[in-house]
Amino acid sequence: MRRLEIVLSRLVWFVPTLFGLVFVVFFISNVVPTDPARIIAGENATEAQVQALREDLGLDQPLPVQFARYVGDLATGDLGRSLYTQRAISEDLLNRLPATLELTIAAMLIAIGLGVPLGVISAVRRNSMIDQILRVLSVSGLAVASFWLAMELQMFFSTRLGWTPLNGRIAGWGPDEITGFYVVDSILTGDWASLGDTLHHLLLPAITLALPAAATLVRFTRAGVLEVINSNFVLYERAMGLPASLIVWKYVLRNALISTVTQIGLIFGALFAGAVVVEAVFDWPGLGTYAVQSILQSDTKAILGFSIVVGVVFIGVNLLVDIVHTFIDPRTLK
């Protein structure tokens, strides 16, 4: 019952948090000194034509009125139309969302696969040469800029060695679309050629996105393991004569990962939002390239829609992490 109360309280807070996000993003987007009516009308339109278009779009109304209208449309899933393409923004974002989610999930899996084991090794071998090397690498991974790392990996693995494609999501046409996730669709349709090509294209951008996240996980896992490894129950297990590897990987890691799970949720949200730079470098057809194109075209409505979608995913992931946390950490029920 207590767990259900906590889950419901988290769900209740989702709505005001989302409203606050929309409020902040909407008013910030209106601070930008651009005139959407002028962009739509074009450079050759007269002032009278621009004013007529401004009234037609409701841009002559006070900002609170525009905000109320935007929230009303948002409640029905309508994010408006792009000022540049005149297509529905929600439709454009939904078409590109699977590409970004596929890249983010792949990066997250790589980050967990690298970060958690290396964090455990770093903690178990505390102050050894391995620990020092891993600490230097994790700090370097946090400090390196994503766009620089992406370009260096491209130059080495794609241009010099020719092991990976330079950019894009797949060569030629993708598999028959079912979910929009090329990996999943390739498996569902049995299109193994597309699956291999998709994974080949996915490898380098996913690694680029994953390395800083893996560095973060190394540090958090190391700290979590060091906190648990000297606790009384671990000393008891040692006194019982259990193998050290069994104690670390089964008992210590399970308790140390409780705090790491929270960080994984935050990292996933950061990866999703941070994919903008990586997608731009690898010409990945996801939300990031859409955002970059919208910024270059001063398409404020598209930028607003992108920001809200990223915010919703970020809030949703953290809500999910909070709920999972109540199941794996009994202390949250007190």
Q: Is 213's pLDDT higher than 80?
A: yes
Q: Is 178's pLDDT higher than 70?
A: yes
Q: What is the pLDDT of residue 292?
A: 86
DSSP state of 81: B
With both helix axes pointing from N to C terminus, report the angle between 300-328 and 2-29 in degrees, rounded to the nearest 10. 160
> Between the ranges 74-88, 247-261, 314-328, where is the mean pLDDT highest?
74-88
Out of 31-35, 85-89, 139-143, 278-282, least confident range? 31-35
149-158 per-position pLDDT tens digit: 888 999 999 9
Q: What is the pLDDT of residue 32?
A: 67
Q: What is the pLDDT of residue 201?
A: 93
Q: What is the pLDDT of residue 183?
A: 93
When comparing pLDDT for 198 and 241, which is higher?
Answer: 198
Calculate mean pLDDT across residues 233-246. Answer: 76
- Please give the full DSSP string across 86-147, using - where no structure is assigned: -SBHHHHHHHHHHHHHHHHHHHHHHHHHHHHHHHHHHHHTTTSHHHHHHHHHHHHHHHS-HH
Query: Distance between CA atoms of 201 and 167, rounded to whole angstroms?
Result: 7
Mean pLDDT of the chain: 83
3 state DSSP class of 295: helix
Q: What is the pLDDT of residue 172?
A: 80
When comparing pLDDT for 58 and 184, which is higher?
Answer: 184
When comparing pLDDT for 85 and 187, which is higher?
Answer: 187
Domain ranges in the chain?
1-76, 89-333
Contact of 265 with 112, CB cutoff 8 Å: no
Other Cβ atoms within 10 Å of 43 Cβ, number: 6
When comparing pLDDT for 252 and 290, which is higher?
Answer: 290
Q: What is the pLDDT of residue 145?
A: 82
31-45 per-position pLDDT tens digit: 766 677 777 777 777
Calculate mean pLDDT across residues 258-278. Answer: 79
User: Is residue 109 very low, low, confident or very high in pLDDT (cuts 50, 70, 90)?
Assistant: very high
User: Is residue 202 very low, low, confident or very high in pLDDT (cuts 50, 70, 90)?
Assistant: very high
Fold observed for domain 89-333: MetI-like fold (1.10.3720)
Contact of 115 with 210, CB cutoff 8 Å: no
User: Is residue 79 very low, low, confident or very high in pLDDT (cuts 50, 70, 90)?
Assistant: confident
Query: Distance between CA atoms of 305 and 78, rounded to whole angstroms?
Result: 9
Q: What angle do CA 84, 88, 93 make, to 5 degrees?
A: 95
Q: What is the pLDDT of residue 332?
A: 64
Query: Distance between CA atoms of 136 and 140, rounded to whole angstroms?
Result: 6
Contact of 268 with 101, CB cutoff 8 Å: no
Residue 79 burial (CB < 10 Å; 0-12/13-18/19+)?
buried
5-34 per-position pLDDT tens digit: 777 777 777 778 888 888 888 887 777 666
Nearest to 278 by CA among 211, 218, 327, 326: 211
Q: What is the pLDDT of residue 334?
A: 63
Q: Is 106's pLDDT higher than 90?
A: yes
Query: Distance between CA atoms of 236 and 47, rounded to whole angstroms?
Result: 81
Q: Is 257's pLDDT higher than 80?
A: no
User: Is residue 203 very low, low, confident or very high in pLDDT (cuts 50, 70, 90)?
Assistant: very high
Out of 42-51, 185-194, 282-291, least confident range? 42-51
Query: Distance between CA atoms of 225 and 123, rounded to whole angstroms?
Result: 6
Q: What is the pLDDT of residue 309?
A: 87
46-55 per-position pLDDT tens digit: 888 888 877 8
Calculate mean pLDDT across residues 312-332. Answer: 76
